[in-house]
Amino acid sequence: MSAIDNAGHPRIAWWSPWPPARSGIAEYSLSLVEALRHLAQVNIFVADQAIGRAMSLPGVSVLPAGAFRSEHARQPFDAAVFHLGNQAGHAYMADALLSAPCRRIAVLHDGSLYHLYEGISRWRLLREIAAEEGWFAAWRAWQRMRLPGSDSYNHPLLRRICRASDLLVAHSAFLAERLRTAAPATPVTVLPYGVTAYTEDGGALQTQARRALDLPAGALLFGVFGHITAAKRVEQIIEAFVRSDLPQSWLYIAGEVTPLAPEAVRRWAEDPTRCALHRIRFEAAYRTPLYVLLGMQAVDIGITLRFPTTGETSAVLSDLLSMGKPTIVSEIGAFRELPDDCVIKVPTDENEIAGLSAAMRRLSLDPPLRTRMASAARAYSAGRTWDIVAQSYLKMVSTP
């Protein structure tokens, strides 16, 4: 008899960062497990050093990664689900996946694992590059480590983990194709990224959010959210907003300025007088997920850009659309798959800033368009709620 027959529900080893970890994937896991815990036996495995502060959740065991094998020996898991992101916080999962004694399901939230391996050590990162691309590539990568910026776009390092998995999960067709290229023999499935469903309330919550954040009550507010790196194109967003000169509009930027942010963005973040002159509100320090969600409710229009991209999943974009916010996105990668009736896609070439300015002006001058896009965004999100995604996970884990 399998563990499913014995328990009546699948028994899942769920590997993921977990609140209070400062990670979008930790928040994703919390929301999804809250729905999934009623359908399956879920055991969360976190890094050993994080267990002391890991958040508790009724009906769910939160265990250190080092307890995985003994817990599996006590009562076998039907599957180990590894939520992998391009961050050092996922480093503890790599070797556990490669040696897991049960069915291995890898959920890729990014199309690169460069920073995951760097989180183990730089030597381990170079070994992985050498294993996939050869020692000359590793030597070149070592040389570039002394330069500013990230090399993760040049070294996705997907092959070993993807080929060691029994099933791969992506949130877009774009990333699914990258995974098939990395591991042609491993099955790949596409599951939607879960969202919280928000109902239309006539702007009541938006009014409350603006009051709480001291944002202009009557302005048209564009919003940018999340950790700021060069790939998020915040420098270009600011330039396009300033160039557009929309007197009744403000740009609200809420995101921690990371070491990968351009110097021009740092200058804006450190100069509130200059920001106020151009109707920009910059919140450059780390904000809690609840604070960021409040900011998203406050804005009229979201902006979420990427260039380059590895097929990253944007939790910010998913939340904006579920709130009914028309959003401007880059015409690249997974963003191309979004319905045209709820987003405006701008180019990533030399026309990027002009395209951004045109999109900003169009949305600011056409309230009926914003209303139609808001309705389309809510309709698109209605089929991607956490309960729906949890059912998809249950089916995936229960099917050999």
The pLDDT score that the predictor gives to residue 151 is 87
| Interatomic CA distance for residues 178 and 175, integer angstroms | 5
**Sole residue written with tokens 């045109």:** 358
* pTM greater than 0.85: yes
Contact present, 359 and 301 (Cβ < 8 Å): no
Q: Which residues is 169 bridged to in the sheet?
A: 107, 189
The pLDDT score that the predictor gives to residue 174 is 98
SS (H, E, C) the chain: CCHHHHHCCCEEEEECCCCCCCCHHHHHHHHHHHHHCCCCEEEEEECHHHHHHCCCECCEEEEEHHHHHHHHHHCCCCEEEEEECCCHHHHHHHHHHHHCCCCEEEEECCCCCHHHHHHHCHHHHHHHHHHHHCHHHHHHHHHHCCCCCCCCCCCCCCHHHHHHCCEEEECCHHHHHHHHHHCCCCCEEECCCCECCCCCCCCHHHHHHHHHHCCCCCCEEEEEECCECHHHCHHHHHHHHHHHCCCCEEEEEECCECCCCCHHHHHHHCCHHHHHHCCEEEECCCCCHHHHHHHHHHCCEEEECCCCCCCCCCHHHHHHHHCCCCEEEECCHHHHHCCCCCEEEECCCCCHHHHHHHHHHHHHHCHHHHHHHHHHHHHHHHCCEHHHHHHHHHHHHHCC
Give every CB contact of residue 305 below 8 A, 6+ residues apart in sequence: 232, 233, 236, 237, 328, 329, 330, 346
Segments making up each domain of the chain, as ranges: 3-113+158-194+385-398, 204-382
pLDDT tens series, the chain, 400 aa: 233 333 478 999 999 999 999 889 999 999 999 999 999 999 999 999 999 999 999 999 999 999 999 999 999 999 999 999 999 999 999 999 999 999 999 999 999 999 999 999 999 999 999 999 999 999 999 999 888 778 889 999 999 999 999 999 999 999 999 999 999 999 999 999 999 999 899 999 999 999 999 999 999 999 999 999 999 999 999 999 999 999 999 999 999 998 889 999 999 999 999 999 999 999 998 888 899 999 999 999 999 999 999 999 999 999 999 999 999 999 999 999 999 999 999 999 999 999 999 999 999 999 999 999 999 999 999 999 999 999 999 999 998 7
| Interatomic CA distance for residues 64 and 71, integer angstroms | 10
The pLDDT score that the predictor gives to residue 123 is 96
| Interatomic CA distance for residues 51 and 61, integer angstroms | 11
Give every CB contact of residue 243 below 8 A, 6+ residues apart in sequence: 353, 357
In the chain, the amino acid numbered 369 is: L
In total, the chain counts a number of residues equal to 400
- Burial-class residue 210 by CB neighbours within 10 Å (0-12, 13-18, 19+): buried
The pLDDT score that the predictor gives to residue 234 is 98
Backbone angles phi, psi at 152, to 5 degrees: -70, -25
The pLDDT score that the predictor gives to residue 285 is 87
Alpha carbon of 374 to those of 317, 357, 370: distances in Å?
13, 20, 6
Class of domain 204-382: alpha beta
CATH T-level topology, domain 3-113+158-194+385-398: Rossmann fold (3.40.50)
